[in-house]
Structure 1
Amino acid sequence: MNIEYLADHKELIPTLARWFYEEWAYLHPERTYADVEHLITERAQTNKIPVALVAFEGNELLGTVCLKVHDMDTRLDLTPWLAGLYIAAPRRKQGIGATLVSAIEKKAHELGVKTLYLYTPESETFYARHGWHVKERTEYHGCPVTIMEKQIVL
């Protein structure tokens, strides 16, 4: 598996936008597909937040993850965030997510991040297995979510 910057694979932005829109539109009902595509385009950088990574096996796109300044408009006091971890449905449960999380944590460390946050409606157990801790349980856009945090020390 290879992990590279989205900045080097901008042709993937429409695919990622479709994945994200189909998976998480319920959390942001005000966003259009075009809005999602624009937000992903902003992540096509290499040395500052927001930044996204993509995972490949050969030419097959396996998944993505990113760092964002903010991910919940209700928690602007917390920054930065791990966000957008998405693995192609047929390739889930194969360790790709864990590899991407580790890679983005390393990138966060390179950028001087000390504490990283995320929120998840359903993957708390996955993140807990990788050293993340529950900060709080709350509701976001009408959905129950768990905010988690991790001290970034490699």
Structure 2
Amino acid sequence: MSRMVLLRDHLKYSDTFASWLHHQFAYEFGSQPLCEWQREFREGQNDASWRTLIMLEDDQLLGGAALAKHDLPERPELGPWLACVFVAPSARQRGLAERLISGLCSEAQALGHHQLYLHTQDRRDYYSKRGWQYVESFRAWGKEHSLMQLKL
């Protein structure tokens, strides 16, 4: 049975999850070396810049998602953000991403937030079906993205 936990309480998984993100979203990291991102991400668990929920099963990391203070340099006035949603390929098609997203929405509400933002390159339909509203399109990292918002 899979369980959702805060990464800050299970930091031994931080470097692995950060490396998955660095690989999956390489275009966002530009020239930031993996080791620097791993350090930033790990520190972000303690200062809440990257408050992350992870999914574990038999102590195996399956995926995670983060509540980020800042996730789009071009829009520093917006936040917090649903970010870093990633499920390992071997664990997909089990509804884990949806559970992680729902868990982060609950975390955000408990912290007093009334809305979340996200940006996506290719999953706009996925999020729209789950209540997220399209705000605008923009170009970043050499790609077209959709900015979306969810009222909590």
Q: Please give the range of the TM-score, normalised by the shorter of the 2 chains.
A: over 0.9
- TM-score under structure 2 length normalisation: 0.93
Cα deviation per residue 1:23-50 (whole Å; 9 max; x = unaligned)?
111122121102210221133249x553
Q: Report if the CA contact (8 A) 1:16-1:40 is conserved.
A: no
Q: Report if the CA contact (8 A) 1:116-1:150 is conserved.
A: yes
User: How do residues 41-80 of structure 1 correspond to structure 2 at under 5 angstroms?
Assistant: 41-45=42-46, 48-80=48-80
Task: Indicate the SS of the match to 2:54.
Answer: strand
Are 2:129 and 1:139 aligned?
no
Task: Indicate the SS of the match to 1:117.
Answer: strand
User: How do residues 3-152 of structure 1 correspond to structure 2 at under 5 angstroms?
Assistant: 3-45=4-46, 48-152=48-152
The two structures, once aligned, show a CA RMSD in angstroms of 1.4
Distance, in Å, in 2 between the alignment partners of 1:42 and 1:84 is 15
5+ residue gaps, structure 2, are: none
Q: Report if the CA contact (8 A) 1:5-1:45 is conserved.
A: no
- Counting aligned pairs with the same residue, the percent is 27
Task: Indicate the SS of the match to 1:42.
Answer: helix
| Deviation of the 1:59 alpha carbon | 1.8
- TM-score under structure 1 length normalisation: 0.92
Aligned residues: 151
| Deviation of the 1:143 alpha carbon | 0.9
| Deviation of the 1:10 alpha carbon | 0.5
5+ residue gaps, structure 1, are: none
Distance, in Å, in 2 between the alignment partners of 1:107 and 1:61 is 20
Distance, in Å, in 2 between the alignment partners of 1:70 and 1:87 is 21
Distance, in Å, in 1 between the alignment partners of 2:37 and 2:125 is 27
Q: Report if the CA contact (8 A) 2:65-2:100 is conserved.
A: yes
The answer to which of 6-15 and 26-35 deviates more is 26-35
Cα deviation per residue 1:41-72 (whole Å; 9 max; x = unaligned)?
133249x5531111112222111111111101
- One-letter amino acid of the structure 1 residue matched with residue 96 of structure 2: I
Distance, in Å, in 2 between the alignment partners of 1:70 and 1:89 is 27
